[in-house]
Structure 1
Amino acid sequence: MGPALVTPYALTVDAGVRDLRAADHLLHELTDGLALPEGTWGCTHLVRDDRPRVVLSLALPSAPLLRTTWERLAEAGQGALSPGLPDPAGRAVLYPGASALTGTLTVAELLARSAIDRVTVLGAPGDPDPGTRVVTRDHVRPQWQHGTLVLAATPALGGTLVPFEAPDPTPCCADH
Structure 2
Amino acid sequence: MTPAHGAAGVHTVIGVDAGSANLREADHLIQHLVDGFGLPPGTVACTHLIRTDEHRSTAVSLALPDGGATEAAWTRVVDWAGPDTGAAFGERTHGSPRAARAARLAAEEHAGRRAGRAVSYPGVDALTGTVTVADLLGLSAVDEVVVVGAPSADGGGPDPATAVHTRGHVRPEWRDGRLTLALVPAAGGTLAPFEVPNPTPCCADHG
1:17 is paired with a residue whose SS is: coil
Q: CA deviation at 1:4?
A: 7.3
Give the direction of change, closer, same or farther, for the CA distance of 1:30–1:171 in structure 2 (3 Å limit).
closer
Moved over 2 A (4+): 3-6, 168-173
How far does residue 125 in structure 1 lie from its aligned partner after superposition? Answer: 1.5
Cα shift at 1:108 = 0.5
Describe the shift of the 1:46–1:5 C-alpha distance in structure 2 as closer, same or farther (beyond 3 A): farther
Alignment-derived partner of residue 139 in structure 2 = 113
Q: CA deviation at 1:169?
A: 2.8
Give the drift of 1:168.
2.5
2:56 paired with 1:34: no
Q: Which residue of 2 aligns with 1:90?
A: 116
Assess if the C-alpha contact under 8 Å between 2:74 and 2:89 holds in 1. no
How many Å apart are 1:83 and its aligned residue?
A: 1.8
TM-score, normalization by structure 1? 0.91
Give the structure 1 partner of residue 22 of structure 2: 19
Between 1:135-144 and 1:121-130, the stretch displaced more is 121-130
Aligned length: 172
Amino acid at match of 1:86: E
Give the secondary-structure state (helix, strand or coil) at the position aligned to 1:93.
strand
Structure 2: runs of 5+ lacking an equivalent: 91-106
User: Unaligned 5+ residue runs, structure 1?
Assistant: none
Q: Distance in 1 between matches of 2:108 and 2:17?
A: 10
2: CA distance, partners of 1:6 / 1:82: 20
Partner residue of 1:71? 75
Relative to structure 1, the CA distance from residue 98 to residue 159 in structure 2 (aligned partners, 3 Å threshold; closer, same or farther) is same
Instruction: Report how far residue 54 of structure 1 moved.
Output: 0.8
1:52 aligns to 2:72 (yes or no): no
Q: Deviations over 1:17-62 (max 9, x none)?
A: 1100110111011111110111111011111113221111001112
Higher strand proportion (structure 1 or 2): 1
Q: Structure 2 CA distance, aligned partners of 1:130 and 1:6? A: 28
Residues 84-111 of structure 1: CA deviation (Å, up to 9, x unaligned):
5231211111111011100001101110
2:189 aligned partner, one-letter code: G
* Pair 1:130–1:12, CA change in 2 (3 A): same
- Asked whether the equivalents of residues 24 and 93 of structure 1 are also in contact (C-alpha less than 8 Å), the reply is yes
Residue 122 of structure 1 corresponds to 148
Shift of 1:170: 4.5
Larger helix percent: 2
Aligned to 1:103: 129
Tell me, what secondary structure is at the counterpart of 2:161?
coil
